[in-house]
Structure 1
Amino acid sequence: MCYKNLGVWHRYTWSDYFNKVKHFSLGLIKLGLKPGDIVAIIGDNEPEWFWGEFAVQAAGAIPTGIFVDAVPDEVKFVVNHSGARFALANDQEQADKFLEIRDAAPQLKKVIYWDPKGLKNYDDPLLTGFREVVEMGMEFEKEHPGLFEENLGKIKPADTAFIYYTSGTTGTQKAAILTHKALIATASGFVTRYPLDQKSDLISNFPAAWVGDSFFATVPHILSGARLNFPEEPETIASDTREIGPHFAIYGPRQWEGIVSDIQVKMMDAHPFKRLAYKALLPVGYRMAEARLSGVEPSAFWKALGKASDGVMFRPLKDRLGLSRVRWAVTGSSVLALDTFKLIHAIGIELRQNYASTEAGFISSHGQGDIAFESVGRPALNTEVRLTGEGELYVRSDCMFSGYYKDEAKTKESFAPGGWFRTGDAVNINEAGHIVFLDRLKDMGELRSGVKFAPQYIEGRLRFSPYIKDAMVLGDKEKDFAAAIINIDFAMVSKWAQNHHLNFTTYVDLSQRKEIADLVNKDIARVNSFLPEHSRVRKFVILHKEFDPDEAELTRTRKLRRGAMYQRYADLIEAMYAENKEVKVEAPVTYRDGRKGVVTTSIKVRSL
């Protein structure tokens, strides 16, 4: 492992890694950890998070993760639902969350922190330091030599390895149980598609509490011996990635969209010559990407032009993004917008789509020379798929979860006869055997006329706009047309406003300006041009605030919680389908420090 701290890269050998895991595991046992106990972990992606995870597993106990930006109520839910007796926390901020909920979680025996900054003057018997537990384990080993190895020998493939709390797009989080066998099968299938070895560099940038980190970073790192690198802070990921130069990069769709948005922002501010070069050479990149994907040999002229474009523009651009050494780039979690996908290929990065879920594991992926923009690839090795008459995908493999913790009814509901997992996803399988993801089955839109549309597809294409940060597309059987709630990208839109001498005071003020509505209108019209006439977006509003996970509008992995959004903005949605020109909105807001407030404003309803 490599971890950047205070500007310096710290390297940990496999021997360092092993000893930290061993002694922390023994220290936990000394503190009273028993096989089957649950340990909650919260913090940034740093070595201690993973040393703690593996130490807990080595003791026969079960780790569960909490997203680092979870508020105390969310921490309380996970701790009490799981029955966690121990917790591992990053720093003062995270330790304080457990101290705040301690009275509501009496089973919590010990909270162990690994970054002592700010905790020096805390005198609480609930707290202890990571280093102290490791030292405790070293002493305990002298009294019980060979215990760690003995504990490892007792663990079976079918034992629970981790309890993952799902993102909660449909409401309350569900706790998915994954065994060691399921995690290893998923990661093995992944490494088969993306061969890694001890010379490969990976970067840990998915939330450690999310199953995607285990599927596509942590467990592949263990299986292949690839080096796992940790950026210093979330804010330094871009610069730290450039220093690492990973051979493999996996980001969620929102991160890839952020990269594309960042490119567009920088090009707006670039020297006129650079802007001209970018506009002139990008079509060359698209042409070369199309040739690579179709297997067509470009002419000598286009080869020369492509090589010149790469040297002048795309190679320096990839270096700025930290992706100059990337052999494969991957996106997962949800479908990436087609325009973003194409642009990443145009600058010379081989981006592939993965399709996986917490419950079903690794389902499909693009393979070498087998990339189709509209699909999520072919089924993974040893994974069976089938379609129901309603177009729902069923999956069966060794990667699947064992069920939902403390919810037998939901577990039973999730499986069809024969051991098939009901994904709840609407897909097609094309003639080439590729899976084409449409949307969540329950989220597929159908208008009064019977016309069907896929909100996620439209939302993804809208987010390709440099001025649109997020979008939610609306429409059901009681509506005659599709509509959209738009979040502007404040950084981009405010820059555009300054360049066009448009005065404004706040986000709320800027979002309701006619000039900004016209800007967004053009992008919606662009997306509408790709859609059948009867499924096009006819009305939109620009929201006065960004969608926020702290307001239960997004999950912690930044997916829309549609049910909650429909309830929260019921009046706004009703106004969009009436003849109203504007609507007053009062929205409760929870601030970072826990204070609550109300934002009141008038939001204009726009028609295309």
Structure 2
Amino acid sequence: MPRSDAARWDFDPRTTLPRLLAANAQAVPDGVAFREKDRGIWQESTWAQVWTTVCAVTAGLQARGLSRHQGVLVLGDNRPRLYLGMVCAGMLGAYAMPVYPDATPEEVLHVANEVTVAVAFAEDQEQVDKALDLRERGAHIGLIVYDNPRGLAGYTAPGLVSWTELEAQGRERLGREPELREQLLSLAGSDDPAVFIHSSGTTGKPKGVVLSHFNILSGVRNAHRSGAFDFGESVLAYLPMAWIGDFAFTIGAGFALRFSINVPERQETVLHDLREIAPTFYLAAPRSWDNMLTTVQVRMEDSTRLKKALYGLFMDSAVAAERRKLEGKAPTLSQRLLRPFGEFAIMGPIKDQLGLTRLRHAFTGGEAIGEDTFVFYRALGVKLRQLYGQTESSAYNAMQSPEEVRLHTVGRPLPGVEVQISPAGEILIKSGSVFNGYFQNEEATRDTLREGWLHTGDAGYVEKDGHLVVLGRLAEVVHTAAGERYIPNYIENRLKFSPFIKDVAVLGKGRDRLAAMVCIDKETVGHWAELRGISYMSYADLSQKPEVVKLLADAVRRVNANLPEPLRLRHFVSLHKEFDADDGEITRTRKLRRNVVEDRYSPVIEAIYAGAKSVPVRAQVVYENGEVGTMERELAVAEV
């Protein structure tokens, strides 16, 4: 479709993802649907090839007994076949249930026990072993379909079959039954499940969220109307498949608007693959944008004097110009004159190194992004924007427009999305993208869906010109002993604007003052220490260096400067370890499980509020060989 026609294009979300796939195969059969990096070479699949594969695998699955409302586990990192496996499940009206590749067996078993799981799609041997372990734990997984056969030649478990073999069986069946393809395409309707995702589980077990084809495609239509993406975008499919943002953008928008979906070789090669692909659309969490900025800063530290001088000249000017824009002012004459030279000498080469040269739509979401990071990319020429969404609303609620961004808002609600603010200050959403309720959880559904409105659980307000401000989780609104109201997550996000802080837990509920437990970013702080000749042996050792504690204190002071006096942090402790998802301290999407953290670190918290200068801790350490030991460390309680 020509871009001029695409700009006027709209569609009825009362369809399904398989129907859109079939339409793409007919309209642009030779268009590139997927690229997969395999052993250093990009392998392409066209829309016609993808449609043929999906039909064959779906036929094979149906022949092996997969039916409506049965579960299909998806285990592994991003792979085209795992994505297509989810589409096949949706074609049969089954539940496609992706889980995080590093999820523990207990976490996967929680998902597997919600429905009758008949099939598991597994990326490789490691994930096959996980599926077999689930069988031993009581999960009734009759069929395990694997993608990568390496290491599986000697496996004799019943129901274990390769993707290639299953696809061949399906092709043979399609050859025998000419009418089968149309029959399969007609099985699912727009209200049938497209994907079965789970909430982050910050306050308990993750809740099941079944999103229909209509939900997903309503969200896509709303976002497209607002200019989030256009036809024919090139995207890098690297986000966890168990996160709604990946499915909504990669498969939902990808199928509806015929994206070229590029799958990296592995997670470790994402940044390298990003440069090779140079996508036109890119969504990343604030931490990812921070990491890329850190990479630039580290390389500049090791550069020549001339390059440092040019970088300082042009980037300082561009950053100053961008800050003027944020204040509603025009760049100065000197800033406008320097821009084209800076683009040639500095900004262009940096964007080329990062893979951002073709980027038209750049987004950040999940939490607030640091001002310095945000302004840097805007100054670089990347029109970075904030996006606000939730699992329960198919990832799309509000979005900033390219030329109307503000640091404290998430933009305006998308077309097709209604927003209200409850008397309690909670953001309420109404849209076709909103789910119908938590899976087999009527109590949670009643609390979340009332009179057609999704109660997001987020506190916020709408400004006079329609911009939405999100303050944090409403349930996390707490009070100090003096009655001062605050949201810990709001302060935590601002602390994490510092590249030296990876995670943080703000304390103070019912207390006379606020304090924090801080986890350093080992890579960034380690590089900072090396440049200054500060030696260290481990994360725990580095975290307690007096120079590092002072570095963190400076970051705390910067945040305190923008907080009212009663809500300023008075003390903090640099922890000896990161918060860990395997320990239950954070979710797989790195959201803090506050109750777990406060319980586990209660001796540290009590020491802070008792006025101690330090606190001893003993931690269990699991070494690479599997042996378990203990580590003792004295943590300093720093006063700000």
Q: Taking structure 1 as reference, are residues 77 and 566 closer, same or farther at Cα in structure 2, changes over 3 Å only?
A: same
Name the structure 1 match of 2:583. Answer: 551
For residues 153-168 of structure 1, the aligned pairs below 5 Å read 153-168=186-201
Alignment pair present for 1:566 and 2:598: yes
Alignment pair present for 1:467 and 2:500: yes
Deviations 1:31-54 (A, max 9, x none): 111122110101111111111011
Deviations 1:58-107 (A, max 9, x none): 12222111111112221222111233111101001111111122122242
| Secondary structure, aligned partner of 2:78 | coil
For residues 345-364 of structure 1, the aligned pairs below 5 Å read 345-361=378-394, 362-364=396-398
Between the aligned partners of 1:412 and 1:568, the Cα distance in structure 2 is 32
Equivalent of residue 530 in structure 2, options 490, 498, 501: 498
Between the aligned partners of 1:425 and 1:598, the Cα distance in structure 2 is 40
One-letter identity of the residue aligned with 1:394: L
Equivalent of residue 41 in structure 1, options 74, 84, 87: 74
Name the structure 2 match of 1:232. Answer: 265
Shift of residue 201, structure 1, vs aligned partner? 0.9
Deviations 1:544-572 (A, max 9, x none): 11111111112111221222211221221
Alignment pair present for 1:454 and 2:487: yes
Shift of residue 199, structure 1, vs aligned partner? 3.7
Preserved contact between residue 385 and residue 402 of structure 2 (Cα < 8 Å)? no
| Secondary structure, aligned partner of 2:185 | helix
Q: Which moved more, 1:4-13 or 1:588-597?
A: 588-597
Q: Taking structure 1 as reference, are residues 272 and 493 closer, same or farther at Cα in structure 2, changes over 3 Å only?
A: farther
Name the structure 2 match of 1:536. Answer: 568
| Secondary structure, aligned partner of 1:421 | strand
Q: Which moved more, 1:449-458 or 1:177-186?
A: 449-458
One-letter identity of the residue aligned with 1:232: E
| Secondary structure, aligned partner of 1:459 | helix
For residues 19-38 of structure 1, the aligned pairs below 5 Å read 19-38=52-71
Name the structure 2 match of 1:259. Answer: 292
Q: Which moved more, 1:34-43 or 1:2-11?
A: 34-43
Preserved contact between residue 342 and residue 373 of structure 1 (Cα < 8 Å)? no
Between the aligned partners of 2:222 and 2:442, the Cα distance in structure 1 is 29
Between the aligned partners of 1:194 and 1:589, the Cα distance in structure 2 is 49
For residues 281-360 of structure 1, the aligned pairs below 5 Å read 281-293=314-326, 296-360=329-393
For residues 90-169 of structure 1, the aligned pairs below 5 Å read 90-169=123-202
| Identity value in percent | 35
Alignment pair present for 1:514 and 2:546: yes
Equivalent of residue 18 in structure 1, options 47, 51, 56: 51
Name the structure 2 match of 1:8. Answer: 41
| Secondary structure, aligned partner of 1:12 | strand
Name the structure 2 match of 1:486. Answer: 518
Between the aligned partners of 1:413 and 1:198, the Cα distance in structure 2 is 38
One-letter identity of the residue aligned with 1:537: L
Q: Taking structure 1 as reference, are residues 325 and 304 closer, same or farther at Cα in structure 2, changes over 3 Å only?
A: same
Shift of residue 344, structure 1, vs aligned partner? 1.8
| Secondary structure, aligned partner of 1:9 | strand
Between the aligned partners of 1:531 and 1:320, the Cα distance in structure 2 is 38
Between the aligned partners of 2:457 and 2:445, the Cα distance in structure 1 is 14
Between the aligned partners of 1:170 and 1:220, the Cα distance in structure 2 is 31
What CA RMSD, in Å, does the superposition of the two structures yield over aligned residues? 1.9
Name the structure 2 match of 1:585. Answer: 617
One-letter identity of the residue aligned with 1:514: P
Between the aligned partners of 2:624 and 2:454, the Cα distance in structure 1 is 38
Deviations 1:483-541 (A, max 9, x none): 11111122222233233232322211121121211121112112222222221111111
Between the aligned partners of 2:55 and 2:578, the Cα distance in structure 1 is 44
Q: Taking structure 1 as reference, are residues 197 and 396 closer, same or farther at Cα in structure 2, changes over 3 Å only?
A: closer
For residues 262-273 of structure 1, the aligned pairs below 5 Å read 262-273=295-306
One-letter identity of the residue aligned with 1:510: L
TM value normalised by structure 2: 0.91
Name the structure 2 match of 1:425. Answer: 458
Between the aligned partners of 2:168 and 2:238, the Cα distance in structure 1 is 29
Shift of residue 444, structure 1, vs aligned partner? 2.8
Preserved contact between residue 338 and residue 374 of structure 1 (Cα < 8 Å)? no
Q: Taking structure 1 as reference, are residues 369 and 504 closer, same or farther at Cα in structure 2, changes over 3 Å only?
A: closer
Preserved contact between residue 582 and residue 602 of structure 1 (Cα < 8 Å)? yes
Equivalent of residue 283 in structure 2, options 222, 226, 250: 250
Shift of residue 598, structure 1, vs aligned partner? 4.3
Shift of residue 277, structure 1, vs aligned partner? 3.2
Preserved contact between residue 468 and residue 488 of structure 1 (Cα < 8 Å)? yes
Shift of residue 262, structure 1, vs aligned partner? 2.3
Deviations 1:404-443 (A, max 9, x none): 1121111112122x21111110102112211111110122
One-letter identity of the residue aligned with 1:334: E
One-letter identity of the residue aligned with 1:24: V
Shift of residue 589, structure 1, vs aligned partner? 5.2
Q: Taking structure 1 as reference, are residues 335 and 592 closer, same or farther at Cα in structure 2, changes over 3 Å only?
A: farther
Preserved contact between residue 198 and residue 227 of structure 1 (Cα < 8 Å)? no
Between the aligned partners of 1:453 and 1:415, the Cα distance in structure 2 is 26
Between the aligned partners of 2:387 and 2:592, the Cα distance in structure 1 is 20
Structure 2 residue runs without a partner (length 5+): 1-33
Between the aligned partners of 1:331 and 1:273, the Cα distance in structure 2 is 33
Alignment pair present for 1:50 and 2:76: no
Preserved contact between residue 171 and residue 563 of structure 1 (Cα < 8 Å)? no
Alignment pair present for 1:436 and 2:469: yes
Between the aligned partners of 1:152 and 1:465, the Cα distance in structure 2 is 50
Shift of residue 159, structure 1, vs aligned partner? 1.4
Equivalent of residue 403 in structure 1, options 432, 437, 449: 437
Alignment pair present for 1:391 and 2:425: yes
Name the structure 2 match of 1:413. Answer: 447
Q: Taking structure 1 as reference, are residues 369 and 311 closer, same or farther at Cα in structure 2, changes over 3 Å only?
A: same
Deviations 1:335-374 (A, max 9, x none): 2233322222122211111110011232111124221111
Q: Taking structure 1 as reference, are residues 592 and 73 closer, same or farther at Cα in structure 2, changes over 3 Å only?
A: farther
Preserved contact between residue 198 and residue 224 of structure 1 (Cα < 8 Å)? yes
Between the aligned partners of 2:619 and 2:127, the Cα distance in structure 1 is 28
Name the structure 2 match of 1:219. Answer: 252
Between the aligned partners of 2:411 and 2:139, the Cα distance in structure 1 is 48
One-letter identity of the residue aligned with 1:346: A
Between the aligned partners of 2:99 and 2:627, the Cα distance in structure 1 is 22
User: For this pair of structures, how many residues does the alignment match?
Assistant: 606
